[in-house]
Amino acid sequence: MNMGNNINPLLCDPETGLCELPETGNALASQEPEKLIDKVKIIYFTDPICSSCWGIEPQLRKLELEYGNAVELDIHMGGLLPDWSYNSGGISKPSDVAHHWDEVSQHYDMPIDGDIWLEDPLDSSYPPSIAFKAAQFQDPKKAVVFLRKMREFLFLEKKNITRWEHLAAAAVYSGLDEQKLKSDYDGPARESFQKDLQLAAQLGVRGFPTMIFVGSDQRKNIVRGSQAYKVYEDAVLALSAGAVKKAYDRSVAGLFQKYPTLTIREFAELAGTARAEAAILLKTLAESGKLQESQSKNGPLYHVEF
């Protein structure tokens, strides 16, 4: 795949695991993130509609479970799709994305229904990105839940997350104040989003996901694209001699208590079981009423109700 100026941001490369923007010539290594004191800081550039970012949810959740005490995740929006005023990378209109997303779904073994681009296509990824920044003003932890819910709406339920009704529903699910979210969305969140775009430009970030691991001594490891779990783990361990892998509850009850929604791939990764065994177990639990199953074209999502 040509990685030059003809890159289309929605044509994500499965080999590199990147959803990439055109080159600007900025050098990532030439910039210095803010100084840290203790933990390894992970400066994570992502986008609500980034399919490769959805593809690394299993690895990120496992990293949180095993090294949550040693890392601090700092999430920034990357601005993947400003609008459709371009024609590059083999994609010139929303319908071109549909088949690509179905292929990406199979590659990452994470359910993604590309038909959203045929039925109710998004004009831009900026509205959900700004909404995420608004959520961060209220509560950074709830903002992570909010981002996850937006992605579930988009990738599995084919909901256009530029529409306020879906953003509001994600806010309610996440325990956020909907009215404050709207006020911040219309106000300071827009400036906060622009600062994220400026930071990405300063650091030379052109593909998503990009993670910059920064130690307390300012040493850095940069991980671009979707990678195996060990790559993220090694990036942490190389910067923190004191980071210790924690044991965690790998049972069905324990994992769903921590993460109320899980795909088959996620459960298999976190439970440390084979994918086929995970699929059978989750299906059996759903049939017995112990879990809820939401089907999509390219795979189910399992969840519990509280």
Residues of each domain in the chain carrying CATH 1.10.10.10: 252-303
* Per-residue pLDDT, 91: 66
Residues of each domain in the chain carrying CATH 3.40.30.10: 35-208
* Per-residue pLDDT, 34: 47
* Overall size of the chain counted in residues: 306
Q: Tokens 């993670």 label which residue? A: 211
* Per-residue pLDDT, 218: 93
Burial class (CB in 10 A: 0-12, 13-18, 19+), 24: exposed
Fold of 252-303: Arc Repressor Mutant, subunit A (1.10.10)
Instruction: Please provide the CATH number assigned to the domain covering 35-208.
Output: 3.40.30.10
Question: pLDDT below 70 — which residues of the chain?
Answer: 1-11, 22-38, 86-91, 306
Quote the pTM value: 0.89
Cβ-count burial 263-272 (b if 16+ within 10 Å, e if not): bbbbbbbbbe
* Per-residue pLDDT, 96: 87
